Amino acid sequence: MSSARAVRLVLLHPPLRCPLGAATPDYVDARRGHNPPLGLLYLQAAVEQTRHQAVFLDANLEGLSHEEAARQALACEPDLVGVQAMTFTLRDALLTARAIKGLRPETKIIMGGPHPTLYPAETAALAGVDYALAGEGERALVAFLDRFFDEEACATVPGIACLRDGRARLTPAVGLLDDLDSLAPPARRSSPYRRYSSILARRTPNTIMVTSRGCPFSCVFCNRMGRRYRWHSPDYVLREIDDIVALGIREVFIHDDTFTIQRGRIEAICRGLIARRHDLIWEARTRVDCVDEELLALMRAAGCHRLSFGVESGSERVLRSMRKEIDLAQALRVFDRCRKEGIITLADFMIGNLDEEHEDVNKTLDLMRRLDPDYVQFSVCSPYPATPLYAMAIERGLVPRDVWLDYARDPLQEFRSPVWTQNFGEEELGRMVKRAYRSFYLRPRFIARQLFRIRSPAQLAALSRAALGLLQGHK
């Protein structure tokens, strides 16, 4: 059943005042900058193609409190507020929702994102939440809006969870979208796109984009929304980039889990960029076994400025345990080739992995020095919900029970994200990560390289703040 009445919606990125601690240290996360919440902007674009009205509000970028975010959202006189919730930001999402309810109880709240996808019934049962939306939401949200003023009908939309008679009621999601090209690109024009920034960016304004969804690999520490890999066509990607350039944006961070899985697609995108001759540089995330010399040369010619590689460990034994099927000799060749092509590299490592011992950590630090990336990121290995590693943690008694489910049911309780403590204690893991950061970023070689690359006072100030944070983090 569909109502002809239009819904007025606010899509809200909540202020991040009390997020859970992530696997990377606070002194690193605090200085990253602000990326646009792309999931909300996809939803904004979907709603803009309908009769319904949507307003996008990034309360975190604006530096608002939960109460200020609630007041700004309600100033739009919405029928419905959609609040984005990651597992690590669930507390902030819930506190914002409750602030809205405290000011105007009749305003309906729908919560969506990765966390409600994992825990839809638990999210819908939280006080202050009327509905939870599980799965990819572009089509489901529009279907929900079409039925919004019929309470029973809107509860039948696939992927919707809500309370009825005191019990959570969930309509199963329809599954993953196959034709990603049928989606409208993110509604960047409806956002303060000129104000987003990253400490790694060379140009402003900059943005992020996603050209594919899903990941076909089987790393035990990772959970993505489906292993089934789906992608936008080269034509779609190039049209989106044309639109980005038309906004005056000159740097793009491609946030695909692994950008270069389909070689032919990447070659077509790169050739299209070369033909367009845009004044644009871009970064992507990939794996060392998904690039080679020829592809790296083509990507560089197309404006690729930086690549991030998940290396994780310098121990081949540990990599096998983690189902991270990469070859370290290949990693050395790829990083060397990136250096020759002039592509800046970032290497991601984890400390305290499955079956890892002190000798393996030393191998990781040795590999870090041999790879000689431009940047590194270290994190503590953590068993996140719905991952094979978390199931192992419960089986081995490394966590006492399903603590993530407890958190989903009561996110305002005192809670710390569990870490993998098979062979190391939590404090020791933290100390090892700090030493790893210091051993890389406080080297004279790194400092000299960064000073050579500085192009503006703003860049110098950003790097100085980052260095100060690292020093303070090691006290």
Instruction: Please answer whether residues 131 and 101 qualify as being in contact, where contact means their C-beta atoms are separated by less than 8 angstroms.
Output: no
Burial class (CB in 10 A: 0-12, 13-18, 19+), 50: middle
Domain ranges of the chain: 8-170, 200-382+419-441
> Global pTM?
0.93
The residue length of the chain stands at 475
Phi then psi for 83, rounded to 5 degrees?
Answer: -115, 130
Helix (H) or strand (E) segment spanning residue 408: helix 403-409
Decide if 23 contacts 45 (C-beta within 8 A): no
Tokens standing for residue 366: 């040795």
Each residue's pLDDT expressed in tens, for the chain with a length of 475 residues: 555 799 999 999 999 999 997 655 554 544 567 899 999 999 999 999 999 999 999 999 999 999 999 999 999 999 999 999 999 999 999 999 999 999 999 999 999 999 999 999 999 999 999 999 999 999 999 999 999 999 999 999 999 999 988 888 999 888 889 999 999 999 999 999 999 988 878 898 999 999 999 999 999 999 865 568 999 999 999 999 999 999 999 999 999 999 999 999 999 999 999 999 999 999 999 999 999 999 999 999 999 999 999 999 999 999 999 999 899 999 999 999 999 999 999 999 999 999 999 999 999 999 999 999 999 999 999 999 999 999 999 999 999 999 999 999 999 999 999 999 999 999 999 999 999 999 998 888 887 877 776 666 666 565 555 555 555 554 4
* 421/424 Cα distance (integer angstroms): 5
Position of tokens 């994992």?
Answer: 118
Q: Long-range pairs for 29-33 at CB < 8 Å and ≥24 separation?
A: 30/469, 31/199, 31/462, 31/465, 31/466, 31/469, 32/198, 32/199, 33/196, 33/197, 33/198, 33/199, 33/201
Cα distance between residue 260 and residue 45, in whole Å: 26
For every residue of 226-283, DSSP letters joined together read: -S--EE--HHHHHHHHHHHHHTT--EEEE--SSTTSSHHHHHHHHHHHHHHT-S-EEE
The alpha carbon dihedral of 386, 307, 361, 435 has a sign of: negative
Q: Are 101 and 78 in contact (CB under 8 A)?
A: no
Dihedral angle, C-alpha 247, 249, 255, 258, nearest 10 °:
110
200-382+419-441 and 8-170 share a CATH fold: no
User: Which tokens hold the place of 210?
Assistant: 């996603």
Summarised one tens digit per residue, pLDDT across range 265-307 is: 999 999 999 999 999 999 999 999 999 999 999 999 999 999 9
Strands 8-13 and 197-198: unpaired
**pLDDT number for residue 475:** 43
Q: Which residue has the tokens 């995330």?
A: 285
- Classify domain 200-382+419-441 at the CATH topology level: pyruvate-formate lyase- activating enzyme (3.80.30)
Give the strand pairing for 197-198 and 33-34.
antiparallel
Name the class of domain 8-170: alpha beta
The pLDDT tens digits for 309-345 are 999 999 999 999 999 989 999 999 999 999 999 999 9
Per DSSP, 62 falls in state: T
Distance in angstroms (rounded) separating the CA atoms of residues 131 and 113: 12
Distance CA 86, CA 414 (A): 18
Cβ proximity of 354 and 392 under 8 Å: yes
CB 46 within 8 A of CB 187: no
What is the rounded distance in angstroms from the CA atom of residue 165 to the CA atom of residue 298?
59
Closest of 395, 406, 404, 399 to residue 420, by C-alpha: 399
- Rounded to 5 degrees, what angle do the CA atoms 328, 331, 333 make? 115
- Beta partners for 284? 254, 307
* Spatial CB neighbours of 386, under 8 Å, sequence gap ≥ 6: 118, 223
**First CA to last CA distance, the chain:** 61
Are 7 and 43 a contacting pair, CB within 8 Å?
no
Task: Determine the residue type at 428.
Answer: E
